[in-house]
Amino acid sequence: MSAPPVLVFDLDGTLVDTAPDLFTALNVVLADAGHAPVEAEIARTMVGRGARMMITRAFAARGAAIEGAALDRANERFLAVYEGCIADGSRAFPGVEPALDRFAAAGYRLAVCTNKYERLSKLLLEALGLSGRFAAIAGQETFGVCKPHPDHILKTVAAAGGDPATAIMVGDSVTDVDAARAAGVPVVGVTFGYTDVPMQALSPDVAIDHFDALWDAVAGLGRR
């Protein structure tokens, strides 16, 4: 029997609006170093490449550099604070749950491929009642590579029991688009996520403004 088709989703900015809780933790780290908070609209563009990169970019926005042991300490502080507030303000984007249910009922396998740590990803999805919908949840450390490396997607598809030839990536940033391109997987870009470049400018195979449009977008990719 052929493998079922797999939809691979990014997490932050794609499935879940995690910004409120990420910013809580990020601004604690900045305050520890004597820096003012980063404005929400600026901070939203810093999400997607993992906590260390977000911290580095936030310090740069305050005219400061952070690296080495200082970055290690800031990262540990960030993760500790974030774990304590991981689902305080985070919520699935509108239409996520009906869309996931529709694809699951149609025989799709669903998976998460994120540059967030796997443990925190599972903790968040469990807190939101979403974890049971996914055949695989892969974080930045799961396979030893992370997006935009193509193996992050390809190994996630394999872990979900699928075939890359029938897989589709859904994401919100250049990291997702680049990873999908490198993996040879079509990509649906959501326009409501965290990116400093408009999704349409990244040239995904198709862009959607709401999860209600995902079914038709995937169907169109299948026909193509």
CA-angle at 205, arms to 124 and 161, nearest 5°: 50
Active-site residue among 10, 172, 176, 205?
Answer: 10
Q: Can you read off the two tokens belonging to residue 119?
A: 């443990």
Catalytic site includes residue 172: no
Closest CA to 47 of 182, 161, 200, 174: 174
Decide: 168 and 5 in contact? Cβ < 8 Å: yes
Which residues are catalytic, by number?
A: 10
